Each structure stands twice: as C-alpha cells, then as structure tokens.
Amino acid sequence: MGHMVQYACPGGGEAPGYLSVPDAGAEQAPGVVVLQEWWGLNDQICGVADRLSGAGYRALVPDLFRGRVTSDPDEAHHMMSGLDWRGATSEDLRGAVQFLKDNGRKVAVMGFCMGGALSVMAAEQVPELDVAVCFYGIPPAEVADPTKLRAPILFHFAQHDDWCTPDAVHALEGQVIDSGVGFEIYRYDAQHGFFNEERPAVYEPVAARKAWRRSLQWIQHHI
C-alpha cells in the first residue's frame, strides 16, 4: 500500500499525490504517473497505482481535485468542468513526472477518462515524459494539439462510447499520425470506463485484462 506525499511543482508550489513503490528496488525503479478519472483520488485509482508498484514501478497519482472525491456523475462533471486543464498539465502533472524522474529514471503516464485526455496533453506538453498510455480520453481542442505529440503513446478506446465516439477516435488517429510519434490504438467491444472494476455496469474484465497487459508491455518496451 502507498501513502500520501507532497511534491514540488515547476511553478514553485507543491501538490499532493498518492505514491506507491515496489517492496524492493524502489530506488532504481522507473516511474508511472497515474491520472484519475473525474471521480477524484479514490480507492480505485489508488489501486491502479498499487498494481503498478507490484509490477515494479514507482507510481504517483496527483490529487488533481485536492481531496474532493465523489461517486455522483453530476458532481464529477462539475469538478472536471472546473479543472484548469493547462495548469494541471504544466504544474501537477509535470511536477509529478519530474518527481519520479529523479536520478534520471524514465517515466510514463497512464490516464483514464479525464486522466486519459490529460495523458494526451502530457505527451505533447511535458518534455520530460518518455511514454504515455491513454484509456478512453480525448482532450478539448482548445487545450491540446495531437499533431504535436512528442512522446510515443498507446490508446485504448471502447467501441460503445458516447464521448470518445468511433468518429472522434478516427479523427484523433489522423492527428496522431501527423505528429509522427510512435503509437498504437486498440478498440474494444466495451463501454466507456470498461477498465474500472468498481463500476459493474460498464466493467468488462476480458477487455480490461487485455488493455492492462498491453499497457505494461508498451511501458516496458519504452522505459
């Protein structure tokens, strides 16, 4: 199990996050920044960090909503709508990457839903980042330009998704091609949020297992 930490942000302040590290070899372990869904820093997303530390990575989940957690979609939408996307990327997210990159270790980012969209932004806007994994997230056009991605990125999308629709994913794929970075896109016969085991209405265990295995292979290949 991990614990809460404070880490430095590029602008001079600090941000809170949940840090989970391997039982052995943590000093040399590469890092993964895990980016939350719109529910906040809840037990489920901390569990993802714990799974990553069990796989040998130092995992840090920035608390983007500063302690606010909900299971109500309307409240979650309200919290996400109030997020400063650029500030979250340039301060909280970049600071987390820099924290894990201490002593030259390589760092990945893995994000889900809102966090997936932020992982795309990170692949463009965080120069220290080595590789990204995006689960069903597309950033608003006004805060990101996928034609300018710098880091290789792996995408997982659901075929039955009313936010990241198949048409939206197709358009995103064209932009990523234009960026010239290495990437892969997988599409699953599932609904948005299929990786979240705490949402039985949408959780798809077969797709979740495939996406997890592919994500670990992608990260391992690059870092």
Q: Report the relative pairing of strands 183-191 and 31-35 from DSSP bridges.
A: unpaired
- Alpha carbon distance, N-terminus to C-terminus of the chain: 23
Kindly report, residue by residue over 52-107, the tens digit of the pLDDT: 999 999 999 999 999 999 999 999 999 999 999 999 999 999 999 999 998 778 99
Structure tokens, 191? 């609904």
Whether the CB-CB separation of 153 and 219 falls below 8 Å is answered with no
Fill in the DSSP letter of residue 148.
G
Homologous superfamily assigned to 3-222 = Alpha/Beta hydrolase fold, catalytic domain (3.40.50.1820)
Cite the beta strand spans of the chain per DSSP E: 3-8, 14-20, 31-35, 58-62, 107-112, 131-135, 153-160, 183-191
- DSSP 8-state symbol, 89: I
pLDDT (0 to 100) of residue 26:
77
pLDDT in tens, 2-28: 999 999 999 999 999 999 999 887 778
Read off the pLDDT of residues 115-143 as tens digits, 9 standing for 90 and up.
999 999 999 999 999 999 999 999 999 99
> Would you give the distance in Å from CA 186 to the centre of its chain?
16
**Cβ neighbours of 60 (radius 10 Å):** 26
pTM (2 d.p.): 0.97
Contact between 158 and 169 (Cβ < 8 Å): no
Q: Render pLDDT for 153-175 as a digit per residue (tens, 0 to 9).
A: 999 999 999 999 999 999 999 99
Contacts of residue 46, defined as CB under 8 A and 6 or more positions apart, other chains included, come to: 2, 18, 20, 61
State residue 218's pLDDT score.
Answer: 98
Burial 96-113, CB ≥16 within 10 A → b, else e: bbbbbbeeebbbbbbbbb
- The answer to whether 88 and 110 are in contact (CB under 8 A) is no
pLDDT for 6: 98
pLDDT of residue 126: 98
